[in-house]
Amino acid sequence: MHCGIFYGKWLCAKHKDICAGTGLASSGTVFYYLQRLEADGRIGVKRNSPRAIRLIDYEFRKVVE
């Protein structure tokens, strides 16, 4: 089964999880969105890895109220 740049049933399921979390309509839309984020330098995608997506220049900040 082919899902964008990834192969395998596990990663296809993850695309569906991303669809649900982002409100995107299809795994094809998720694939395009991830490509754009990678091209913009916002994420790094490591091919053939179960933990393939990492954020670039991202840090957690404590919100003080």
pLDDT in tens, 20-57: 777 888 778 878 888 888 899 888 887 777 667 788 88
The most confident of the ranges 2-6, 10-14, 49-53, 61-65 is 61-65
Whole-angstrom CA distances from 40 to 17, 21, 46, 55, 61 are 22, 21, 16, 12, 22
**Model-level pTM?**
0.56
